[in-house]
Every structure is written in structure tokens, then in C-alpha cells.
Amino acid sequence: MEKRNLLLSLINGTKTLLTNMRANHNNWPIQYPVKDHDENKSRSVDDSNKKNLEDNTVDFEDDNLEILRLNLKVENYEDSMVTAWDNAIIAHLDSKILESTRHLEKLYMRISDTSSKVLITGDLNAGKSTFVNAVLRKSVVPQDQQPCTAGFCEVIDAKNNDGIEEVHAIDDPEAYNREDPSTFTRFELDHLKQVITENAHQYQLFKIYCQDDRTAEESLLNNGVVDISLIDSPGLNIDSIKTTALFAQQEEIDVIVFMVNAENHFTLSGKQFLTNAGKEKGYIFIVINRFDQIEEPERCKRDILSQIEKISPKTYADADNLVHFVSAKRTLQEHKKGNHGTKEFDDLEQCLRTFILEKRCKSKLNPAKVYLENVLKDIKYISEYNKQLEMEKIRSIQEKIDGEMPNYYNLKNVKEEVSDDIDKIIDSTSSKVQAYTKDYLSRFVKDLERYSLEVEYNGFIYAWKYANELRNHLYQLAAKRARYCAKYGQKSASECIEHVKNMIKDVEIDESITSVLDPANVDSIMGDEEYLAPKVGETGDNKNIVKAISLEFSDFFDLEDQLELVKDYLPSFAMLASGIYGYHKLAGQLISVGNRIGIENIAKAGFIVLGIAGLGSLTFAISNMKSTIEHNVTQKVRNHLRTIEYVDNNVDRISKNTRRSLRVVLWDFHNQFSKTFESTIKKREEYEHEQRMAEDAKEFFASISKRSEELRKIVSTVDLENTTKSR
Ligand SMILES: Nc1nc2c(ncn2[C@@H]2O[C@H](COP(=O)(O)OP(=O)(O)OP(=O)(O)O)[C@@H](O)[C@H]2O)c(=O)[nH]1
Ligand SMILES: [Mg+2]
């Protein structure tokens, strides 16, 4: 029983394994190891694999398969048919696996089934029916001197039919269902002989439900261990030998009892049947009947045993248990009289009982064991084959990756360090430019005085010229500085581009992409005059500077000097200007007229006038004039620069332009690079995906293979040789 249960659970385990294989069929179609018809090489289903296999032999072929073998007839087919053909194989294998699953279910049912069938066969008139009756201790199946049993009669304990004794005549034994009266015709047990002789040809099988009141120890049908049914069959003749042979081959038949008429020994058809049946079942239980008719029993025994030795050596070797010489008729007669039967028949019954129980175990469990061993071996073989294919696939994809994208990691670096970091690169350069420009221009504005030394002062007569030149000089310096900063921005942007170019110099990138990284492209944006033109006013020319920073008379004198002058020279001014104009007004007028008619001449005229007007406190003012002008003009220029936000506007303009030019160039690069790189990445991802799939499939097949091996090991431990005790 333990063995039975173990086998049952092994069947279930194997079934699960097969179901799993099929369940994942969509993800991982199982490939069948088929020999290539041309090159004698293993071939696989999908084209890429096929190619791989041509390069690298995954050496499997279906010769090693048993249960899951497809018996393919590989004929020449066009290459264009490869896929269709391969798909057909996949489908074929799938249905084969399904078939095997079903077979396991059948085996499971059979092992679970505790009944056992014994077929009684032999020559015509050998006494088969009499033997069945003798075993049952009552006349159930009809017996006659003339050939009588025309159909198969299966005697079953009536407890299998709710205790009711009756006959079910069956057309189609496969469809027979005791619960469904349409599948059989019911007859009373008493009419059996008549039914069998008259209607035998109409029916294939008679199920005879018959009560056996004996105890479990005595009864064969109702023995407490298994439900045994005895099948009485028509005697072997030319007509019936084929049907009986077929019947005997049925899996449900656990034991064959072969009846021999002691008077006739073995007939030709008997020998023929026995030889064939022996191949199927291995051991046959042989009953030599009508032994009561034999005058020289010992010689008869000797002759018959030597015949058996030739027909079935295995049976001969165990003749004590398997060959019995009896008289069924006499036994039955004794039983009917209420006497005990003969010792020979008792022995026979005892041996038959043991044989049935033992054989039943073997005949039911052994096929399951053998089948499991074979199918598990096939599963392992096929999954190992598929595992190899997947490994091969993984390897070939890796080869593709290495071959097609050796640059991948370099490109990835470029992507990560340049392409994805463009904003950062741009930021750092433009911030640098911004900081530098701001510092540079601010310092200039702050230290404006320093630059006054660069203008020559030629005495107070040329004070006006000096003031003018100083102003223009500072103004030009401001413009120059701004232009310098713009150049600096341009240079920094170029350097940045150069730097990026340097970063990718070792990576193989198409020239059309890297050509974007040309400093000239920055220059084309930042190199134009419009950009370089310094912004120190609305426009930059001298005329406008004059307008923007007008010089006033007061620029030439300190405030105190001016008051002194007013006090001392007011009368002269008044005289000079007909007493109407104050000094200021006069000077202001002079300047404003100067603005219209040429400031230099008027200013000169003014100074001459002033020179004539008085020399007293004017002397001091004149000696101080250079620093006064220097101070005032510088301050004026500075104020002007502040008003127009010279520093901030220039800083802003330059850093913005730097940023803009870098953006144009680097984003152009980024876009082109990404476009090309995206396809590589995509391809790479596809490969990696394929690889992952193959990896999963490999794992899957490896697990199937491992599990099949585990199950196979357990199956091999099931020992069916010693079964009698463990029934
Ligand atoms: N003397 C003798 N006659 C027997 C013995 N067994 C059966 N017979 C007789 O042999 C005849 C045929 O017996 P059956 O039991 O009908 O033989 P069968 O093998 O079933 O015959 P078919 O079904 O026609 O093939 C009957 O008349 C039986 O009485 C026996 O042991 N000794
Ligand atoms: Mg008969």
C-alpha cells in the first residue's frame, strides 16, 4: 500500500511537472531536439537559434526519447517552410505532453482502482466454465459438452451491484455504466445459459453479478483485499483467437489463467496464444484440467511440463506455483455434495490467490513505475536541451552586444557626463563669466581715478581740453573694458566647448555629431560687432558721449573757489555782462552757447574773459584746477556709468550671451547625440530584454530538469519485486 501511495504521489508530481511545462508554453515554447535532415545536426526552432546551433553544437537528438518522442518524418522542405514546420513541431510536442499527462491520469486511476481481473482462457471444451464454477463453488456460468461459451462472461461479486444477482449484457464495454440502464440489457441469472447461447453474438460482454457467501479467507471474489472478477472466455479457435488475444492484452487484465485439456495437451492455437500472451504478461497461470481422465498421470505431467518449458521457460521455472493438474468437474461435484474439494484444487486455489494478489500489484504498479521512469527521463532530456538552447542564446546575444556596441559604455559615460549634464556645464561657464565680468567692471568703476593719470594736463589754459580728454578717455576705457569682458565671455564659451570636445575625444562618435562642438559656432553667435559693441550709453559714439556727459563750468572749480570768484569778480562780471548776468549765468551761457557753436572756442573765450577779469583768488583756483577737474569729471563719468547701470547691464548681457551661445551649441550636440544614442540604447535594451527572457527560460528549464531528476530518483527506489507482503 505504501508503494502504491508513493507511486500515486509520484504520478501526481510528474503530472504537475508536465502541466507546468505546458502552462509556460507561451513564454517559453519548448523546443524539440530534432535531428537536422541535411547536416545531421541538431536544429532548433527559431531562426536565430538555428543559426547559433550551426555555429555551436548543442548536441541533442530525439533518438534518446521514449515517451515524448514524436516520430517525425523529416522530409526535404523549403527554407521558407522552416517556421511553419517548426511551429508544427512545437504544437506536436505540446500535444504529446498533454497526451502523456492524460496517460498519467489513467495510470493514477488504475492504481487507485482496487479491483483485479482474471481472464480464464484456453482451448474449446477444456473445462474453463467448469473451472470458474468450481472456484465459485456453484454453477454460475453455463458449461456444456459442446462448445458453449460464445461471449466473454465476467463474474463479479454481487455486492458491486447493490447485492442484486443479475446479468448485464453489454454492447460497448467502454461505455458501460452500471447506473445507466441504456448502456446494457438486464437479464436474470437463471436465464444466463439461454442468453449466452442464443444472444452471444449481439453482445461483447456479459457482466454476471453473483453472490459469494463464503468468508474472505475462502472466497476468491470477495477476499477482503481486492475485488477480483473472473472472466470466462470462449474457447480458442480460429474465430476467437484474435478477440481473446486482444482481450488478454487489455491493461485491466491482471492475470491470465490458461486452461489446457489434459487429454489433448497443447493445441496449436493454444501454443500460439500462450507464446504471445507470455510476452505481454511474463507469467501465466496454467491449469491442466480433466486430469481425472488421464490413465498415466505422471507421463502426462512430464510431457506437458516439457511442452511448457519450451513455450514459456519462466512459467516452467516456477511450475510448482504456476502449473496445476486438476479436475474441475470432480471438484465441483464434491462441492455440490457439500464435501471438501480435492487437495490439488485447494493447492491451486491457494496459489492462484497469491499469484493474483502479487501479479495485481506488479501488473498495476509496474507499468506506472516504468512509465514514470521513462517520461521523467524524457522530461529531463528535453528540458536540458532547452536549457542549453537558452544558454546558447544568452551567449550569442552577449556576442552581439560586444560586437555591435563595444562603444556602449563610453557612450554611456558621454551621455551621463556631458549629454545629461549640459545645463550644469553651461551654468558653470556662464557663472564664471558673470563673476569675472562683475568683478572686473566694478573695480574699474570704483578705481576710475587711477586712469586720469593717462591723460596729459597742459596747464589751465588747456583745462577745458583736459577735462574733455579725460572724460573721453574714461568713457573709452569703459567701452574697452566692456568689450574686453564680452571677449572674455566669448573665449570662455569657446574653451567650454573645447573642454567638452576633449571629454569625448576617445569615444567613437560620428563626425556629423561632434562637428557641432566647434568653437567657431560660439564665435558666430558671440563674435559679432553687435555683441562686442560696449554698452556705455545709448550708443557709443563721441557725439553722444558729449551729450551724455556734458561738461559744465563748475566742473573746473571747487565750490569754495566758485564762491570766492563770485565775490571778487562779481563787479567785473556785471560790467562784462551789462550787470545783468551773474557769474554763473554767464558761465552757463558760455557753455550752453558752446554746446551749440563749438564748446572749445567758447570755453577758451570764457577763460580768457575770466583771466582778464581778475587774478587774485583765481590764482589758487587755477593751481587747484587739475585735481578739481580730475575729481569732478571722474565723478561725473562714474555717475553716468552708474546711471546707465554700466556694470550690471554689461554683466547681464555678457553672461546671458555666453549662456545662450553655449546652449545653442551644446543642445545641438545633445540632441544629435541623443538621437543616435537613443537607438543604440534601445537596441541594447532589446538585447538585454532578450537576455533576461532567455535567462528566465534557462532557469525555468533548469528547475524542470532538476525536479524531474529528483522524482526519477524516488521512482527508482520503488521496489516492486517484493510485493506480496506489501500488497
Ligand atoms: N471428466 C471431466 N470432464 C470435465 C472436466 N471439466 C469439465 N468437463 C466437461 O467438459 C465439458 C466442457 O466443459 P466446459 O466447462 O463447458 O468447457 P469450456 O472450456 O467452458 O467449453 P467452451 O466454453 O465451449 O469452450 C463439460 O461436459 C464438462 O462436464 C473434468 O475435470 N473432468
Ligand atoms: Mg465454457
Reported as a single tens digit per residue, the pLDDT across 42-91 is 444 444 444 444 444 556 777 778 888 887 765 555 666 667 777 788 88
> Does the beta carbon of 147 lie inside 6 Å of ligand 1?
yes
Residue 292 near ligand 1, beta carbon < 6 Å: yes
164, 257: one domain? yes
Residue with more model confidence, 696 or 405: 696
Q: How far is CA 719 from CA 4, 106, 114, 225, 727, in A?
A: 11, 21, 19, 20, 12
Confidence of residue 541 (pLDDT cuts 50, 70, 90): low
Q: Name which residue sits closest to atom 32 of ligand 1, judged by CA.
A: 290
Q: Is the CB of 293 under 6 A from ligand 1?
A: yes
Q: Determine the Cα–Cα distance for residues 222 and 226; give it in Å rounded to an integer.
A: 8
pLDDT band at 9 (very low <50, low <70, confident <90, very high): very high
Polymer length in residues for the chain: 727
Mean per-residue pLDDT over the chain, rounded: 80
pLDDT at residue number 187: 92
Residue 693 lies in a domain: no
Q: Is residue 697 part of a domain?
A: no
- For position 183, what pLDDT does the model report? 94
Residues 487, 452 share a domain: yes
> What pLDDT is recorded for position 133?
92
Q: How confident is the model at residue 114 (pLDDT cuts 50, 70, 90)?
A: confident
Least confident among 40-54, 347-361, 491-505, 526-540? 40-54
Mean pLDDT calculated for residue range 314-323: 90
Q: Mean pLDDT across the stretch 473-487?
A: 88
- 253 and 195 inside one domain: yes
Is residue 198 located within the same domain as residue 311?
yes
What are 610-659's pLDDT values in tens digits?
554 445 555 656 667 788 888 888 888 888 888 888 899 889 989 998 99
Residues 425 and 382 in one domain: no
Ligand 1 neighbour 723 (Cβ under 6 A): no
Domain end among 659, 685, 706: 659
Report the pLDDT value the prediction gives residue 113, as an integer from 0 to 100. Answer: 76
116 — pLDDT class (breaks 50, 70, 90): confident
443/431 Cα distance (integer angstroms): 18
Query: Which ligand has the shortest distance to the CA of 131?
Result: 1
* Cα 349 to Cα 113, 255, 257, 271, 458, distances in angstroms: 23, 14, 12, 24, 154
Tell me if 707 is assigned to some domain: no
Residues 442 and 385 grouped into a single domain: no
Inform me whether the pLDDT recorded for 539 exceeds 70: no
Least confident of 32-46, 85-99, 707-721: 32-46
Alpha helices in 29-174 (DSSP H): 47-55, 82-112, 128-136
Question: What band does 554 get if pLDDT is binned at 50, 70 and 90?
Answer: low
Looking at 259-263, 458-462, 580-584, 670-674, which range is the least confident one?
A: 580-584
Predicted local distance difference test score (pLDDT) of residue 51? 45
Is 582 strand, coil or helix? coil
Instruction: Say if 161 falls within a structural domain.
Output: yes
- Residue 427 covered by a domain: yes
Highest mean pLDDT among 254-263, 532-541, 678-687: 254-263
Three-state DSSP class for 186?
strand
- Determine the pLDDT at residue 128: 94
Contact 213, 206 (CB under 8 A): no
Same domain for 588 and 450, yes or no, is yes
Is the Cα dihedral 411, 415, 419, 423 positive or negative?
A: negative
At 507, the pLDDT band (50, 70, 90 cuts) reads: confident
Measured N-to-C along each axis, helices 422-446 and 625-643 cross at an angle, to the nearest 10 degrees, of 150
Residue 172 in this model has a pLDDT that exceeds 80: yes
CA of 145 to the centre of ligand 1 (A): 6
Task: Evaluate whether residue 365 is within a structural domain.
Answer: no
Give the atom of ligand 1 at the shortest distance from the alpha carbon of 142: 16
- Closest-CA residue, ligand 1 atom 27, reads 145
Tell me, using a 6 A CB cutoff, whether residue 406 lines ligand 1.
Answer: no
Q: Which of 119, 123, 143 to mutate to test the pocket of ligand 1 (most atoms within 8 A of CB)?
A: 143
Which candidate, 521, 520, 516, places its Cα nearest to that of 673?
516
Half-sphere exposure of 95 (CA within 13 A, CB side): 6
Distance CA 458, CA 469 (A): 12
Residue 632 falls inside a structural domain: yes
| Domains: count for the chain | 3
Instruction: Among 125, 244, 345, say which to mutate for ligand 1: greatest number of ligand atoms within 8 Å of CB.
Output: 125
C-alpha cell at 658: 555666453
Residue 171's Cβ-side half-sphere holds a number of Cα atoms within 13 Å equal to: 6
The CATH number of the domain holding residue 299 is 3.40.50.300
Kindly state the average pLDDT of the residues 670-697: 86
608, 632, 659 — which closes off a domain? 659
| Residue 47 contacts residue 122 (beta carbons within 8 Å) | no
The answer for 456, left when phi > 0, alpha when psi is -120 to 50, beta otherwise, is beta
Q: Which ligand 1 atom is the nearest neighbour of the CA of 145? A: 27
User: Is 617 within a domain?
Assistant: yes
Ligand nearest to the CA of 126: 1
pLDDT band for position 537 (cuts 50, 70, 90): low
* 75-79, 196-200, 371-375, 656-660, range with the lowest pLDDT: 75-79
Substitution candidate for ligand 1 out of 329, 330, 331, 332 with most atoms within 8 A of CB: 329
Q: Are residues 387 and 428 in the same domain?
A: no
Whether residue 211 has its Cβ less than 6 Å from ligand 1: no
What's the pLDDT tens digit per position in 223-247?
666 778 899 998 887 677 777 777 7
pLDDT value at residue 713: 95
pLDDT for 471: 84
What pLDDT, on the 0 to 100 scale, is given for residue 585?
46
For residues 162 and 727, which has the higher predicted lDDT (pLDDT)?
Answer: 162
pLDDT value for 33: 85
Inform me whether the pLDDT recorded for 461 exceeds 80. Answer: no
Q: Are residues 379 and 302 in the same domain?
A: no
Q: What range defines the domain where residue 168 resides?
A: 115-341
The stretch 321-349 carries a mean pLDDT of 90
Q: Lowest-pLDDT range, 246-255, 366-375, 437-446?
A: 246-255
Cα(248) to ligand 2 centroid in Å equals 17
Residue 449 pLDDT > 80: yes
% residues pLDDT > 90 (the chain):
29
Long-range pairs for 696-703 at CB < 8 Å and ≥24 separation?
696/27, 696/28, 697/27, 697/28, 697/386, 697/390, 698/387, 698/390, 698/391, 698/394, 700/24, 700/27, 700/28, 701/28, 701/383, 701/384, 701/386, 701/387, 701/390, 702/383, 702/387
Q: How far apart are CA 623 and CA 61, in angstroms?
A: 117
Q: How far is CA 101 from CA 96, 185, 371, 593, 723, in A?
A: 9, 35, 11, 118, 27
At residue 551's C-alpha, the angle toward residues 545 and 554, to 5°, is 160
**Judgement on whether residues 211 and 301 belong to the same structural domain of the protein:** yes
Nearest-atom number in ligand 1 for the CA of 130 is: 15
Residues 135 and 97 in one domain: no
In the predicted structure, residue 431 carries a pLDDT above the cut 60: yes
CA-based radius of gyration for the chain? 59
How far apart CA 365 and CA 376 sit, in angstroms, is 16
Among 620, 636, 659, residue at a domain's last position: 659
Q: What pLDDT, on a 0 to 100 scale, did the predictor assign at position 577? A: 37
Residues 286 and 430 in one domain: no
Task: Say whether pLDDT at 159 is over 90.
Answer: no
**Does the pLDDT at position 511 exceed 60?**
yes
Of all protein residues, the one whose alpha carbon is nearest to atom 2 of ligand 1 is: 290
What are the Cα distances from residue 263, in Å, to 148, 289, 319? 19, 9, 19
What local confidence, expressed as pLDDT, does residue 596 receive?
A: 46
How close is the Cα of 163 to the center of ligand 2, in Å? 25
Mean pLDDT computed over 392-397? 93
CA of 131 to the centre of ligand 1 (A): 8
Predicted confidence band at 529 (pLDDT cuts at 50, 70, 90)? low
* pLDDT interval class at 685 (50, 70, 90): confident
Calpha distance 721→379 (Å, rounded): 26
Residue 711 · residue 372 · CB < 8 Å:
yes
For CA atoms 477, 480, 484, 490, the dihedral sign is positive
